[in-house]
Structure 1
Amino acid sequence: MAPLALTRGDPSGIGPELALKAWLRLHEDAAAPVFFLIAEPEPLGALARHLGLAVSVQPIVAPAETESVFRHALPVLRLPGVVHGAPGVPDTLDAAGTIASIEQAVALVGSGEAAAVVTNPIAKSVLYEAGFAHPGHTEFLGELARRDFGVASARPIMMLWSPELAVVPATVHIPLAAVPQSLDTDLIVETARIVAHDLSVRFGLPAARLVLTGLNPHAGEEGGMGREDLEIIAPAVKRLKEEGIDVRGPAPADTLFHAAVRATYDAVIAMYHDQALIPIKTLAFESAVNVTLGLPFIRTSPDHGTAFDIAGKGVANPASLIAALELAGRLAAHQAPA
């Protein structure tokens, strides 16, 4: 299997530290996936020395070198240019490198030189100041899928996955007040189809069990607390069942996430951002992984941000990045030819 491509993320955040610590944790584990980082090697080596991390940083010219390097050094595919910001002090001049790292990782998966993309955290505010036109990573990856892979119908969907719980928000980064008018039956059906497909193809669950939450408290109390559950979500469940998808709902979200009920499904499709993310961040804050479904390539990411407030202090926890690398390796191995 080809190595995993790890993007730099914002170099002033905790991404570089996480990459160093992930390599320290994984490089002696023969069962762990090997990866290379797309970044500027010199500041990474300086950071390792500053933090007292026993990591040798070795530049490579091609991903194929990763296997021979990984056991004794962190392979770094050189990103042209220099880093302008400092730990905890981002600089918009670094935005171009952040974007280029993502683009290169996707291109290397497209060429077969990398097996999957794992992305370190970006600071959207920094990218916006530099003219970035996408709401975030997920939407940008959807554009790259359409541009570089020719998949005109690519619709990326964010799933937060952990061994304890997997959740998908049907609507994502929009105001809560905009959720009811943004929900429609077609959106929910398309989302559930993609989730069911990718759980089958990527995760090896041919008959994935899905649950749709209600939008309103108690799933609307048969219309007594809002009509959306009856008029938008219930018809989506009916259509999905007619297509042979194992789905139920709308289910009251307040009773859906305790252990006994979690054993009855494989993923929850929630109606809005916090309805999905609060449960998984409560249950698996350090081990949850952001997985982008609906793409022609595998992409995972740690489920946290750049954490500028602790960047460069040596206290960043690499658990979520390690989980993202391990899940990407598992998914890539599952789809690799025998």
Structure 2
Amino acid sequence: MGKETRVAITLGDPAGVGPEVIVKALATFPRKERANFTVVGNIEALERAKRTTGVSLVFAATREEGAVLVEEVALEAPLPEIGKVSAAAGEASVRYICRAVEMAVAGEADCIVTAPINKEAMNLAGHHFDGHTGLLAHLTGSKSSFMLLASERLNTVHVSTHVSLRGAIERATVERVLATIEAGHDHFMRLGRKPRIAVAGLNPHCGENGLFGDEDMRFLAPAVELARKKGIDVSGPISADTVYARAYSGAFDLVVAQYHDQGHIPIKLIAFDTAVNVSLGLPIDRVSVDHGTAFDIAGTGKANHVNMLSAIAYARLMASSPRRAS
């Protein structure tokens, strides 16, 4: 399934491990199958990663038999130094993403797989977004985007991600929680599964009927009720200290997390190398590795490419599943 899917892979921050995990991952595919991939970035960065990792690949800016096609993106500065945060690297990473989105919107790619970027570098370059999620929503003209972390036994979609804890509490509105439930439900339905969804509580023990806060009663519970009226199989709010164990044991297919760490910690605990980051609510399909730029090991060849392979597989799965009419 998905062998003919055209996958555009962005290089990520060229000073990080993105180029290394990309070349390692592509080297595992049969030569003929590599024709389905286009790396959006720079041949110079890929050649540097090839030397570091010792893989045997050929890169070309035009389609050549046996070579990995590279969509060369012009940079205004020399290739950034490995392992260091810089505005030049941040600018490069944003340019790669912008070009990949153009390709997807134009139908030149069926899905996008993104290597990790550095948010500090991106902001140093003058691009003030919270990361891929906000930038992709902006580039596609989407009202909002939702971050889904997907793994074999646990999946969680976030009401909010890269904001302060105070900001996360403010974003847990009826409208946003309901929209997150619907986004997760629609995604699983697209993949052919009617999901059993659990909404994690915001406060300890979901507030204990107001003893530890009333947000769960005021905002989360009404959102759950509205989702049920739309025919969605959803429960909650359920205390966050138990809901993930129940989901991992098979009681739920998806957990709605109220904020970044509430969803990220359990996923990274049980599926650190295989979980992927999926953007929901966009008109294009995008999947990313669920790890950072790892500047501390960039340039050493030690970076593990297993997560990149998982991201490619999930992107292909999405691209082979038609979108449902809204």
> Is TM more than 0.5 here?
yes
Gaps of 5+ in 2: none
Alpha carbons of structure 1 residues 178 and 49: separation in structure 2 relative to 1, 3 Å: closer
> 8 Å contact 1:27–1:34 — kept in the other structure?
no
Q: Output the CA distance in 1 between the equivalents of 2:138 and 2:52.
A: 37
> 8 Å contact 2:196–2:233 — kept in the other structure?
yes
1:118 aligns with 2:106: no
1:225 aligns with 2:212: yes
- Which residue is equivalent to 1:132? 127
Alignment deviations for residues 129-152 of structure 1 (CA, whole Å, 9 cap, x no partner): 111122211111011111xxxxxx
> 8 Å contact 1:2–1:113 — kept in the other structure?
no
1:6 aligns with 2:1: no
- Which residue is equivalent to 1:294? 281
Higher alpha-carbon deviation: 172-181 or 234-243? 172-181
Corresponding pairs, count: 320
The equivalences for 1:208-219 within 5 A come to: 208-219=195-206
Q: Output the CA distance in 2 between the equivalents of 1:140 and 1:57.
A: 28
- Which residue is equivalent to 1:40? 42
Alignment deviations for residues 249-290 of structure 1 (CA, whole Å, 9 cap, x no partner): 011111122267541222100111111111000010000100
User: What is the CA distance between 1:192 and its match in structure 2?
Assistant: 1.0
- Which residue is equivalent to 2:94? 99
1:192 aligns with 2:192: no
Gaps of 5+ in 1: 147-152
Higher alpha-carbon deviation: 20-29 or 224-233? 20-29
Q: Secondary structure at 2:252's aligned position in 1?
A: coil
Higher alpha-carbon deviation: 233-242 or 80-89? 80-89
Q: Secondary structure at 2:234's aligned position in 1?
A: strand
Higher alpha-carbon deviation: 218-227 or 156-165? 218-227
- Which residue is equivalent to 1:310? 297
Alignment deviations for residues 96-130 of structure 1 (CA, whole Å, 9 cap, x no partner): 33222111111111121111011111111111111
State which of 138, 141, 147 in structure 2 corresponds to 1:143.
138
- RMSD of the TM alignment (CA)? 2.2
- Which residue is equivalent to 1:204? 192
Q: Output the CA distance in 2 between the equivalents of 1:297 and 1:55.
A: 29
Alpha carbons of structure 1 residues 279 and 50: separation in structure 2 relative to 1, 3 Å: closer
Alpha carbons of structure 1 residues 33 and 236: separation in structure 2 relative to 1, 3 Å: farther
Alignment deviations for residues 151-209 of structure 1 (CA, whole Å, 9 cap, x no partner): xx5421111111111101212122223333332111111111122112212x222x222
Q: Secondary structure at 2:148's aligned position in 1?
A: strand
Q: Output the CA distance in 2 between the equivalents of 1:29 and 1:212.
A: 44
Q: Output the CA distance in 2 between the equivalents of 1:101 and 1:48.
A: 19
The equivalences for 1:84-95 within 5 A come to: 84-95=79-90
State which of 240, 245, 248 in structure 1 corresponds to 2:232.
245
Give percent identity, aligned residues only.
Answer: 35
Q: Output the CA distance in 2 between the equivalents of 1:272 and 1:256.
A: 15
State which of 52, 55, 64 in structure 1 corresponds to 2:54.
52
Q: Secondary structure at 1:5's aligned position in 2?
A: strand
State which of 152, 157, 180 in structure 2 corresponds to 1:163.
152
What one-letter code is carried by the residue in structure 1 that aligns with 2:275?
A
- Which residue is equivalent to 2:22? 19
> 8 Å contact 2:181–2:256 — kept in the other structure?
yes
Q: Output the CA distance in 1 between the equivalents of 2:226 and 2:163.
A: 26
Alpha carbons of structure 1 residues 260 and 194: separation in structure 2 relative to 1, 3 Å: closer
- Which residue is equivalent to 1:150? none
Q: Output the CA distance in 2 between the equivalents of 1:251 and 1:40.
A: 47
1:328 aligns with 2:315: yes
1:76 aligns with 2:64: no
What one-letter code is carried by the residue in structure 1 that aligns with 2:302?
V
